[in-house]
Amino acid sequence: MFKFNPITEKLDMVNKSSSGTVVIGEVPTGDINDSNKIFTLAHTPTSGVSVYVGGARMKLTDDYTIITNTITFVSAPQTTTNILVDYTY
């Protein structure tokens, strides 16, 4: 099932489960400009966070941190890359 995300103005793929709503492939908000390290999710994850930059899965604490719905990368993503996040809320 897809749901329109008014924050990102894109469609997010969502699955309802007994443990919450699963979001697959959300593009977080934030400028991808070689210097910005902070990105925001539409919801605060409760579990199952996977962050991908340019198709590569990032490691928590080595590559990024997450507090509430804010992801902070250790190094700013390159301008030409994409960021996708899977999580449950």
- The residue segments making up the domain with residue 65 are 2-88
pLDDT band at 14 (very low <50, low <70, confident <90, very high): low
Which has more pLDDT, 11 or 81?
Answer: 81
pTM for the complete prediction?
0.80
User: Ramachandran region of residue 43, left (φ > 0), alpha (ψ -120 to 50) or beta?
Assistant: beta
Question: How far, CA to CA in Å, does 31 sit from each of 15, 22, 50, 82, 87?
Answer: 27, 24, 20, 11, 21
Q: pLDDT tens digit string along 36-80?
A: 999 999 999 999 999 999 999 999 999 999 999 999 999 999 999
Domain total in the chain: 1
Interatomic CA distance for residues 10 and 74, integer angstroms: 26
Which has more pLDDT, 11 or 52?
Answer: 52
